[in-house]
Amino acid sequence: MALPMVSLGSVIFHSLPIPQTSHVVPRFPCHCSLSSHPSSSHSLRLPWGRESPSARICASITDVSVDVAVEEKRLPKGETWSVHKFGGTCVGNSSRIKNVADIIINDDSERKFVVVSAMSKVTDMMYDLIDKARSRDESYVSALDAVLQKHSSTAYDLIAGEDLAAFLSQLHQDISDLKAMLQAIYIAGHATESFTEFVVGYGELWSAQMLSLVIKKQGIDCKWMDAREVLIVKPTRSDRVDPDYLESERRLEKWYSLNPSDVIVATGFIASTPQNIPTTLKRDGSDFSAAIMGALFKARQITIWTDVDGVYSADPRKVADAVILKTLSYQEAWEMSYFGANVLHPRTITPVIRYGIPIIIRNIFNLSSSGTMICHPSIIGDEDKLISKSYVKGFATIDNVALVNVEGTGMAGVPGTASAIFSAVKEVGANVIMISQASSEHSVCFAVPEKEVKAVAEVLQSLFHGALDAGRLSQVAIHPNCSILAAVGQKMASTPGVSATLFEALAKANINVRAVAQGCSEYNITVVVKREDSIKALRAVHSRFYLSRTTIAMGIIGPGLIGSTLIDQLNDQAAVLKDELNIDLRVMGIMGSKLMLLDDDKGINLEKWRELREEKGEVANLEKFVQIVHGNHFIPNSVLVDCTADSVIASNYEGWLCKGIHVITPNKKANSGPLDEYLRLRALQRQSYTHYFYEATVGAGLPIISTLRGLLETGDRILQIEGIFSGTLSYIFNNFKDGRLFSEVVAEARDAGYTEPDPRDDLSGTDVARKVIILARESGLKLELSDIPVENLVPEPLRGSASAQEFMQQLPKFDQELAEKLKDAESGGEVLRYVGVVDVRNSKGVVELRRYKKDDPFAQVSGSDNMIAFTTRRYKTQPLIVRGPGAGAQVTAAGIFSDILRLASYLGAPS
């Protein structure tokens, strides 16, 4: 009879069919055993027509003994069987193999079928042997010795006596066979794919034999199976095979009838073709083996043992807050694995769906973790209560893809255009990962791996050359450097708002979506983003759906009194923010007028920032500073906090907001500057998800801006805003009484630290005027700062004083004017207060010194408190009053901190 052949260049290997006699018992496989025995019937013939003096090759897959008869036993199927699969990491060394044996022995299932991979790194070592021999690198000999040493030393650790001797004898025979085969490859300089797959399967044979012997050593009847005797697959292309279930089932029943046992250890990854030629199951073949065998046995469950606790909601290397999913439906697992999640190969799920066999992913190094169960949705129930509320189970990404867009008005309504496109793509062997087509049929957009896009572009340009020249097609455009982000969840189907939430999260992170695809089954929503935004996008959507930490990269400009106080507050609250509020604030940069401190990784140690600035500080450079804070593509959100009073810094706000950088500031210069600049900033707020918060510009830590907006947003109408807006001037006029001199009180306020270094900055009223103009604009008035009349408390002759010291020395000469005003007010039972007023009804504002009756709320203010009264349509007879500390670094920094927390609440998941 004709024997199937494996060709190795001009060297021909004949392979014998698997013996099907019912009266034989397999022992150790001969696996293409080389022998110099004269009775060997199939010899290794060298190119020049002579037999090798040292070897003959026999590719019979089983070594059989014909003198032992076994009563055939029928294969039991169903719930009594549990299937376990252990990957290379699980059997990486002798101690781990012992651990695997313990797990199998302690499993209380009635019957157990175990699938094992080769020991860790062995498959790579076997491929390396082929590569070295094929490239005529003589080091394949020493590399083969390393393979022998790895397995022999492991065997010595695990087994003893006759079992050890038998295994080592077979191991040395296998190594001798391999050496001869590799020598043939070395001579020919070539090895076919079939021959390569035959060679790399040795690792599974050795690991399966050793594990079975370890279990047997514990007094348990255990057989080992060379899966090539049972598992038959039909190659469909170079990277895919399809199981022949009928033939595999027939051979399994025959194998079991000769080798009945309640514990079977089988090789993963390897199989045979219908012609009995050894092959492999390709990528993730051991998982696939376990699934096929589970289906053949109709097992109760399949456990895939690995080195992680289960399937995560996202790649934990990219999203630190990813959570273990307790359950996944088959469809969810398939979708996530297709889109690159480290779950299972999509084909692994296919064999078990028919019988509804659950697959459990467990961590062999953490037996306390229950892992992830992949099963029918009906089994899942309410196990994942937290996750079921979010409707999205997990997220996965595929990097290094390119978008291809075929566009033109001539495509609309023309049958066969899409077919022609994808037929051409198929011709060049490219893999289409996703497709997006508008209902207008004006364009077809699809994603392919970036390494394949050049060939795709060339074939499409050639195919549509005429249509492009004639104008029926406008372009075949390529968009490289993209990534695919997929959101997966069975409960997404028919749930309103999931897509909106996803896109809102991306928009808040300032991430542009280049293409979208969603099937009608709604198991996944797929978007294409720039590759550099991939991790940022993944973290943004995961944070939104999973209530995980909202991570914000922050840059602080101006570490003066207010800025340094803010930094200290952030440091004090860091643990609370992370543990209780799920906010991870990372200060990536601190910049002063001369020096800046940067850290583009995990953020600056805020406890030691002053020392670090002295040690590692560099010359301040605003452009570089912004680049470092915003340029971290692993953090989805970035904010710049401007704690200065610098108009130059404020002039950058618009550009920062356009880049997607949020801005928080107590700096009044931007909002009280030119009206058109203010209006542009407000327009940016309304038109994008980039936030600009400035609560501390008016009332330090008091909620003035938010109160005003709350009134307006709820439909109230502002009539007037009147207030003591300066903590400094509040202190001065609260203490300017009972005959005290004005200059004396100013000096006292300066010594107490209430005033600016130059008190004229407070007494001029300009700061109050800026706050008035901010509130006027927030109320809808279009006023410039020059439109606000200001009563300047600095005597005109002293406004040009050379220094603050000179001003203070001359101020007593001008006490008389204010003393007379105070006396006149007190004689009428009134007090003096320096206030700002926004008269909305008359579209004007004013800053001036006013008199109030002693029973008026403004007369009751004490210390350095601010007080703002809102007279509105609702609060007309009794104004709404906000009162509290309005000056000092602590309260101003607290106001900024409050804005930071408000930003985090906007960016993160809803409470």
What residues are labeled active site?
A: 771
Neighbours of 41 (CB within 10 A): 10
Task: Report DSSP state, residue 365.
Answer: T
The DSSP H or E segment spanning 292 is helix 285-297
User: To 10 degrees, the CA torsion angle through 263, 256, 82, 331?
Assistant: 150
Task: Report DSSP state, residue 55.
Answer: -
- Reduce the DSSP state of residue 770 to 3 states and report it: helix
883, amino acid identity? R
Q: How far apart are CA 223 and CA 173, in angstroms?
A: 21
465, amino acid identity? H
Neighbours of 467 (CB within 10 A): 19
Burial bucket for residue 676 (CB in 10 Å: 0-12, 13-18, 19+)? exposed
In the numeric block, which tokens belong to residue 663? 């801005």
Contacts of 550 (CB under 8 A, 6+ apart): 543, 582, 583, 584, 637, 904, 907, 908, 909
CB 615 within 8 A of CB 529: no
Q: How far apart are CA 255 and CA 739, in angstroms?
A: 112
Q: What spatial distance separates the first Cα and last Cα of the chain, rounded to whole Å?
A: 75
Contacts of 85 (CB under 8 A, 6+ apart): 114, 115, 116, 117, 268, 286, 287, 289, 290, 302, 303, 304, 305
359, amino acid identity? I
Q: Could you identify the residue written with the tokens 């008026």?
A: 856
Burial bucket for residue 419 (CB in 10 Å: 0-12, 13-18, 19+)? exposed
CB 477 within 8 A of CB 402: no
Q: How far apart are CA 745 and CA 793, in angstroms?
A: 13
DSSP assignment of 64-107: EETT------PPP-STTEEEEEE-TTTTSSHHHHHHHHHHHHH-
User: To 10 degrees, the CA torsion angle through 357, 362, 367, 368?
Assistant: -90
127, amino acid identity? Y
232: closest CA among 222, 224, 243? 243
Q: How far apart are CA 487 and CA 541, in angstroms?
A: 9
The region that residue 753 occupies, defined by phi over 0 for left and psi between -120 and 50 for alpha, beta otherwise, is left
313, amino acid identity? S
Contacts of 355 (CB under 8 A, 6+ apart): 295, 298
The region that residue 587 occupies, defined by phi over 0 for left and psi between -120 and 50 for alpha, beta otherwise, is beta
381, amino acid identity? G
900, amino acid identity? I
Q: How far apart are CA 622 and CA 636, in angstroms?
A: 21
Residue 589 phi/psi, 5-degree rounding, is -160, 145
